[in-house]
C-alpha cells in the first residue's frame, strides 16, 4: 500500500477538477467584479448574480481556503490578489473556457487516447476553430482567454529576440493583434500587418484602430493554409499557431510563410519547445490540450524536421525568460 503522503498527493491530483469548476462558477457569475467596490456577503452577491445564497457561500468559502477571495469575521467576502487576477478579462475568460468547452473536451481524452482523434470534435461535434467561428461570442471569449494566458510572453519575446533590424513584420494568426500592438509600441520604427481569418480580422479592426498607430499597423484577411500576404516583409511571426495543427498543416503554414518571406525574410515560430527527460515542464501538459485540439507541442528536432519539409533552415532557437522560445527559420 502507498504511504499516506503519496496517497494524498495522488488524490489531490485526481481532484483537480474541483478547483477548476469552482473557479468557473466564480468567473461566470463575475464575483470578482462584484467585489471591486468592497466586501459583500454571499447573500448580497447571490442577489446580484441570480444565484442561490447558500450554495454560493459554500463555493466561495472553499475558494477562500485556497487564497481566492477572503472571508472576514462578519461573513463578507473580499478580493485577494488571486481573486483580482481571476477578475481580469484574461483571467475570467480563461476560467470560463476551461470550465465549459475545455472541461467537456477533457472528458473525452480517453477517446483521443484510443483513436488519436481530437477530443474537442468528440465533445462538440466539430473542430475547434469551426466551433469558435460558428459561435462568435465564444470565439471572442476564446481570444480573450488566450491573450490572458499568453499576453505576458510578449515583452520577454521582444527582449530576447532583436527586432530592431526589421522594417515590417507580419503577425500570422495573431487573433486581436495585441502582440503586434505591443511590438510596435516597443520598436517605434516598425510597421506591422495582422493576417487573420476574415471573421477574426473583422473583430480585430476596432482594437487595431484604437491602438492609435495609424498607418504603421494594418489588418489583412485571409487563410494561412492557402496563402500569406503581404509578401516581402522582414519577418513572419506565428505565435501559438502551429501547435494547434497537425504536421501536415504545420508544413503548409511554414511553406506559405517561407514563400511570402522570400530569400531575405525570416519565419519566427514562438512556441514551447519540449525538452527530453522526465523533468516537469508545462509544455508536456499543454501538449495534451493540443492532443484534444488536433495539434501538438514539439521538440527542437521535430521543429527542425518540419522546417526542412517546408523549405526552411532552422537557424536558431532563442529562449525567453518565459517558457516559450523564438524558433527562427530562413529559406534554404
Chain-centroid distance of CA 24 in Å reads 17
Using the Cα atoms of residue 113, residue 114, residue 118 and residue 121 in order, give the sign of their dihedral.
negative
Written as nine digits, the cell of 85 is 487576477
Q: Active site residue: 124, 150, 240, 243, which one? A: 243
Cβ atoms within 10 A of the Cβ of 114, count? 8
Cβ atoms within 10 A of the Cβ of 318, count? 16
Q: How would DSSP label each residue in 8-50?
A: HHHHHHHTHHHHHHHHHHHHHTTHHHHTTTS-EEHHHHHHHHT
For residues 137 and 120, give the distance between their C-alpha atoms in angstroms, rounded to a whole number: 18
For residues 150 and 283, give the distance between their C-alpha atoms in angstroms, rounded to a whole number: 13
- Specify whether the CB–CB gap between 238 and 179 falls below 8 A: no
Residue 150 annotated to the active site: no
**Where in the sequence numbering do the catalytic residues fall?**
243
Amino acid at each position: 500500500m502507498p504511504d499516506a503522503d503519496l496517497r494524498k498527493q495522488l488524490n489531490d491530483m485526481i481532484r483537480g477538477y474541483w478547483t477548476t469548476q469552482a473557479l468557473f462558477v466564480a468567473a461566470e457569475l463575475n464575483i470578482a467584479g462584484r467585489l471591486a467596490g468592497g466586501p459583500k456577503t454571499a447573500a448580497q452577491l447571490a442577489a446580484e448574480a441570480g444565484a442561490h445564497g447558500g450554495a454560493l457561500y459554500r463555493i466561495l468559502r472553499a475558494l477562500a481556503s485556497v487564497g481566492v477571495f477572503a472571508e472576514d469575521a462578519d461573513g463578507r467576502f473580499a478580493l485577494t490578489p488571486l481573486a483580482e487576477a481571476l477578475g481580469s478579462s484574461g483571467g475570467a475568460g480563461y476560467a470560463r473556457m476551461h470550465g465549459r468547452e475545455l472541461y467537456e473536451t477533457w472528458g473525452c481524452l480517453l477517446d483521443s487516447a484510443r483513436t488519436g482523434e481530437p477530443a474537442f470534435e468528440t465533445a462538440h461535434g466539430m473542430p475547434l476553430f469551426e466551433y469558435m467561428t460558428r459561435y462568435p461570442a465564444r470565439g471572442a471569449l476564446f481570444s480573450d482567454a488566450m491573450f490572458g494566458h499568453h499576453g505576458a510572453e510578449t515583452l520577454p519575446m521582444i527582449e530576447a529576440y532583436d527586432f530592431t533590424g526589421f522594417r515590417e513584420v507580419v503577425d500570422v494568426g495573431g487573433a486581436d493583434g495585441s502582440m503586434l500592438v505591443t511590438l510596435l509600441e516597443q520598436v517605434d520604427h516598425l510597421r506591422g500587418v495582422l493576417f487573420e481569418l476574415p471573421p477574426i480580422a473583422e473583430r480585430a479592426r476596432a482594437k487595431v484602430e484604437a491602438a492609435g498607430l495609424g498607418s504603421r499597423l494594418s489588418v489583412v484577411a485571409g487563410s494561412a493554409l492557402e496563402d500569406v500576404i503581404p509578401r516581402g516583409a522582414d519577418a513572419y511571426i506565428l505565435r501559438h499557431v502551429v501547435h494547434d495543427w497537425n504536421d501536415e498543416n504545420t508544413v503548409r503554414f511554414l511553406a506559405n510563410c517561407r514563400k511570402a518571406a522570400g530569400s531575405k525574410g525570416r519565419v519566427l515560430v514562438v512556441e514551447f519547445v519540449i525538452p527530453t527527460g522526465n523533468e516537469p515542464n508545462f509544455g508536456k501538459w499543454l501538449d495534451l490540450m493540443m492532443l484534444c485540439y488536433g495539434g501538438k507541442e514539439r521538440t527542437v528536432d521535430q521543429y527542425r524536421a518540419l522546417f526542412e519539409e517546408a523549405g526552411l533552415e532552422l537557424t536558431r532557437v532563442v529562449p525567453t525568460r518565459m517558457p516559450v522560445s523564438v524558433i527562427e527559420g530562413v529559406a534554404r
